[in-house]
Amino acid sequence: MSTETALPEPALQAQRDAPVGGQAVLEGVMMRGVSTWAVAVRKPDEEIDVQSFPLVSWTKRHRALRWPVIRGVVALVESLKIGFNALNIAANAQLDED
């Protein structure tokens, strides 16, 4: 008899889609997935602006960047770049239209 319990289908899907993260930005949130990242920001007129961008990791483009220590540095730099871009988008959304 197997001691493994079968997970329901939504639970299996959640395990496969697990590498998702995010950060807070001015009046909104940035979420990063495997292949895209998005920013949702509340504008001063109470409208919510959502922007989505494709994401291709540098480690997928360059084989040398997959080495363990280098991979960590590259992941940090990628996260910082996306974070600053998200903060820039959020700050620009808070400016008046004038």
pLDDT per residue as tens digits for the range 25-76: 999 999 998 889 999 999 999 999 999 999 988 888 888 888 988 989 998 9
Comparing C-alpha atoms, which of 64, 44, 40, 62 is closest to residue 52? 40
State the CB neighbour count (10 A cutoff) for residue 85: 14
User: Per-residue confidence at 15, pLDDT binned at 50, 70, 90?
Assistant: low
pLDDT score for 13: 61
Alpha carbons 19 and 34: distance in angstroms, whole number: 7
CB atoms within 10 A of CB 28: 20
